[in-house]
Amino acid sequence: MLSKNIFGLKNKLKELDNKLSNKVCCFTGHRPQSLPWRFNEQDERCIRMKNKLKEEIIKAIKNGYTTFISGMALGFDMICAEIILQLKKEYPNIKLIGAIPCKTQDKLWNEKDKQKYKNILSKLDGVRCIYDDYIGPKCMFERNQYMINNSSLVIALFNGKNGGTKKTLDYAKSLKKPIIVIDLLQFK
């Protein structure tokens, strides 16, 4: 069970939402099952992808982006969150917001992934929780819409196939949001 103080950050986030500048970046990408390295983040392909992602995030920071939103799902979302947390040591002014679809997002995850998730949640600058309980794919879609609606830049890891990442990118394109795509196929 997540502590109430983590979700207490939700009130602070309302204030932050009202102050967000146009320098907010969100992330979208695939879950481990769709990644060539699956859950093995020590795989050389994953390490190369993380290096590319870190380069893109640093470029965004140097272009004035100070707030980053992660959907906090397994795979790319949590990798992005971990990189932002690492970069906060070098760039202490950046903020990390977790946009989670529901409080029970990690309910079916293994213990190792739950611990990683809770560790990241404890270090967030704010949390936006869409629903209390999982109500189906709708809560994931609404979480993605929240991220896109509140961002002026999207960094994506995309394999070119239909699915949640494509739907999120299509939504961002419909709003004419700038998108940086890291092609997952280059890491096969």
- Is 18 inside any structural domain? no
Mean pLDDT on 11-20: 52
- Helix, strand, coil abundance in the chain, percent, nearest 5: 45, 20, 35
Contact 27, 76 (CB under 8 A): yes
Mean pLDDT on 61-70: 97
- Is 79 inside any structural domain? yes
Q: Is the pTM of this model over 0.85?
A: yes
Q: Where in the sequence is the domain holding 47, given as residue range(s)?
A: 4-9+24-187
- Is 15 inside any structural domain? no
Residue 148: name the closest of 125, 180, 184, 173 by CA: 173
- Is 134 inside any structural domain? yes
Q: Cα–Cα distance between 142 and 60 in angstroms, integer?
A: 25
Spell out the residues 6+ positions from residue 2 whose beta carbon is closer than 8 angstroms to its own.
Answer: 103, 118, 121
- Is 115 inside any structural domain? yes
- Is 118 inside any structural domain? yes
Query: 75-133 pLDDT, tens per residue?
Result: 999 999 999 999 999 999 999 999 999 999 999 999 999 999 999 999 999 999 999 99
- Is 16 inside any structural domain? no
- Is 58 inside any structural domain? yes
Q: From start to end of 65-170, where are the E strands?
A: 67-70, 95-102, 126-131, 153-158
- Into how many domains does the chain fold? 1
Query: 102-111 pLDDT, tens per residue?
Result: 999 999 999 9
CATH code of the domain covering residue 163: 3.40.50.450
